[in-house]
Amino acid sequence: MEILIYGTINSISLALYALGFAMVYGVSRLPNFAHGALFVLSGFGTWAFLNLLGLNYFFSIVLAIVAAGVIGSLIYRFILIRVRGMEISEIIASYAMGLAILEGLRWGGFKGMTYTLPAFVEGSMTLLGVSVDYQRLLVVVIGAAVVGLLWLFTRYTRIGLALKGMAQDERAAMMLGIDSDAMALVAMAFGSSLAALAAICLLPLGNIVVEAGYRVLILAIAVCIVGGLGSWVGAVLAAFLIGFTQILTVVYLGPHYQMVVALLAIILTLIIRPSGLFGRQKELEERV
């Protein structure tokens, strides 16, 4: 029972980590390696709004999400747009941006165990014989809500449909009058806001540390690769797969192996089936 409940929670958190990355990659084929940095940045941002500016918690959360979206779109508009289409430059440029943000935060004194965000709701309850705190339950609720809203958004709104069109076939979308660069900008803004949302939901469970940036990036990549790069449904399913495997290894092998599982999942998936478990087959594009 414990495995089931904590596995679900872990899976939803993984999905939250990964959705922003999957969204940006799916729409603009841009591996956003600054994803982890945006995650940590918005965590510290919320903390700063809350404690340095003394704003109300709800207001600082909204502000952090908006700020992350703005920063993400600025990164796209001024840096990534110039290297779009050159895969390697995309990776290097976005990774370097992420590195600059993370190490800049570390230099700015945001290190150590002293930064925490308060939980939305304190306390815990017993669910089917397992004690779970409300924050974790809230993560599940918010995660499910985000997935659901995203599903509705990509089906029933103009922008959502445009994004979906870009994801399916960029050239055809351009012929139908969808501005590819503008949509990529929107996707980047949404992706960054999703990273911020994930940060705000998940960071109250622990401390805000710079290292989390690298961990989140790896987990997001793991989920997206296993699910198939660019496939959102795949990402959610893969999050459950990896989430439960991680919990099982923690229970039966030890916590050290948690990260090993994620990395092994990436390597094995790429070797055996690079388009992921649920990705569309593009044999020729990805392997010889």
Partner 1 sequence: MDAGERRKERIDRGIKVRSDSLYALMSWRELAYLSVPRLVFIVGMLLLPLILPDMYWQRVVSIVCIYALLALSFDFLAHFAGLVSLGGAFFVGTGGYLAAVLNTSFGLPPLVTIPLATLFGAAICTLLLLPCLPLKGVYFAIVSLMYPLFSMRLIEALDILGGTDGIIGIDSFPNPWIEQYTVIGVMLFFLFAARRLVNMDIGLVFRGIKDNDQAIRASGMNITHYKAMAVFIASAMGAMGGACLVHIYMWSGISQFALDFSILPIAATVIGGGGTLVGPVLGCLILVPISELLRDFGTLRIVFYSLILVGFIVFRSEGIMVYGQRKYHQFERWTRI
Q: Please give the residue ranges that form the binding site for partner 1 (CB under 8 A).
A: 31, 79, 82-83, 87-89, 91-93, 95-97, 99-100, 103-104, 106-107, 218, 221, 225, 229, 254, 256-257, 259-260, 263-264, 266-267, 270-271, 274, 285-288
Query: Which C-beta is closer to partner 1: that of 162 or that of 167?
Result: 167
Nearer to partner 1, 17 or 136 (CB): 17
Contacts of 34 (CB under 8 A, 6+ apart): 75, 94, 95, 97, 98, 101
- Shortest reach from residue 261's CB to partner 1, in Å: 9
Whose tokens are 């795949």? That residue is 234
Question: Please, what is the minimum distance in Å from the beta carbon of residue 78 to partner 1?
Answer: 8
Our CB check for partner 1 shows the closer of 59 and 107 to be 107
Nearest to 65 by CA among 98, 42, 41, 35: 42
Please say which residue, 93 or 194, places its beta carbon nearer to partner 1.
93
Report the distance separating Cα 198 and Cα 194, nearest Å: 6
Closest CB 191 distance from partner 1, rounded Å: 17
CB nearer to partner 1: pick between 72 and 143: 72
How many Å apart are CA 204 and CA 262, to the nearest integer?
Answer: 23
User: Shortest approach of partner 1 to residue 27 CB, angstroms?
Assistant: 15
Is there a contact between 24 and 30 (Cβ–Cβ < 8 Å)? yes
Say if residues 142 and 201 touch (Cβ distance below 8 Å): yes
Instruction: Give me the least distance between CB of 221 and partner 1, in Å please.
Output: 6
Residues 6+ apart with CB under 8 A from 82: none
The separation between CA 91 and the C-alpha centre of its own chain, rounded to angstroms, equals: 16
